[in-house]
Structure 1
Amino acid sequence: MANQLHYPAPQGPAGAPFADVNLKLAVLSALDEQGTIALGEPPKLAEHLLGRSFDVATEGYRLVPEVLDYLARYPLDSQKLATLETLNLDGGSTIYHHIWHFWHGEDDTFEVASLGGIENCANLRELGVAGILSPVDIGLLTPLRQLSDLYIGTGVSNIAALRDLPALASVRILNDDIYAEVMTLGHPTRQLMDELKRAGITVWVHWVSHYDQPPAFE
């Protein structure tokens, strides 16, 4: 119920403990969806912060800075972050409806520029990146010792760092350049993927656009 919602006082610098406010928003959204925190249904948070009713029909077509500022400084401790096991970066997070109810998704307002601080999600097991972040720097994921399932549908950098993910069980990549590399015998990326397969890791690499529509590498 709305009157049972508790919104903690904001604290610390914007984005903390992450380097990017937009990464924090994605994490907050995942925590809200799994019930670790409770933001309520839009526009309850906006009404709480503005101290008045919020008319979605007339005010939902613009970003509400008070909501963005609050969420950027929403207090997150290690206990809450430890509950997060699945994170998807795809531009479809429900938290955006609190900030900009009718956001069209056609600009970079919520684009994630850095995965810095992702190590604070120490128990993350599944990470999916289908949008809002490119490239994905695999090197920044190596502190995630529980990460087992990785899906990337954008750009990739430091791909060799896949070797340094000890719990990795499945890696799926949707990318034309990576597909071309794994289909080239002797290419370092092909050698990497063959090495992962020999280690028992499920590998799937597919093209985004290809004239001949060849099968996936797996």
Structure 2
Amino acid sequence: MPDFRDFNFKLPVIEKLMYGDRTLTPAFSIDECLRAKGIPDPQLYAFDNDLAHTVLDEAHAHFEALEISEELLATLDTLVIDGGLQVYYECSPVWDGEDDLFDVGSLDDLDLLPNLRRISGARDCGLGIPFKEEILAARDIVSD
């Protein structure tokens, strides 16, 4: 199974496959995960424990260990970078999108997506690295 180098790059991939296409199953739910631990309200839990601007350990561990096959990765032709992604809620239930918590730090993981042709939203948010249009263009990836 391919290994991602940048956790924040992996998250939009998970978004597309798990919450969009529903081909990466089962879908992870932070609500269900925390309820199983006796925590009924993830948002209140995050606020009460000063975790509003962090990725919860339970979500980080799950998504970090999540294996995605080369076959599934090859089905990706589009990624969306947007502060409202479901996967971001699952990681940080009260995140407000006003910081760099989910900014992508590297484009090295593009190698894992051989059929990627479009990244939507990359110019507006989500790339903590300088936007490298020439890297995308060299791979025939359009960004908007």
Shorter-normalised TM range: 0.7 to 0.9
SS of aligned partner of 2:107: coil
SS of aligned partner of 1:87: strand
Q: Which residue of 1 aligns with 2:75?
A: 83
Letter paired with 1:81: L
Q: Which residue of 2 aligns with 1:25?
A: 11
Q: Deviations over 1:75-132 (max 9, x none)?
A: 0111110111110123222101111111111121111111111121111122121202
Greater Rg over alpha carbons, structure: 1
5 Å matches for 1:135-214? 135-141=130-136, 144-145=139-140, 147=141, 149-151=142-144
Letter paired with 1:123: N
Richer in helix (by share): 2
CA distance in 1, matches of 2:103, 2:64: 14
SS of aligned partner of 2:58: helix
Give me the identity figure in percent.
26
Q: Does 1:37 align with 2:32?
A: no
Q: Does 1:119 align with 2:111?
A: yes
Q: Which runs of 5+ in 2 are unaligned?
A: none
Report the count of equivalent residues: 133
Q: Could you say which structure has the greater relative contact order, defined with CA pairs below 8 angstroms and 6 or more residues apart?
A: 2
CA distance in 2, matches of 1:93, 1:79: 23
Q: Which runs of 5+ in 1 are unaligned?
A: 1-11, 152-218
CA contact (8 A) 1:85 1:124 kept: yes
CA distance in 1, matches of 2:5, 2:97: 22
Distance apart, 1:42 and its partner CA:
4.5
CA contact (8 A) 2:30 2:59 kept: no
Richer in strand (by share): 1
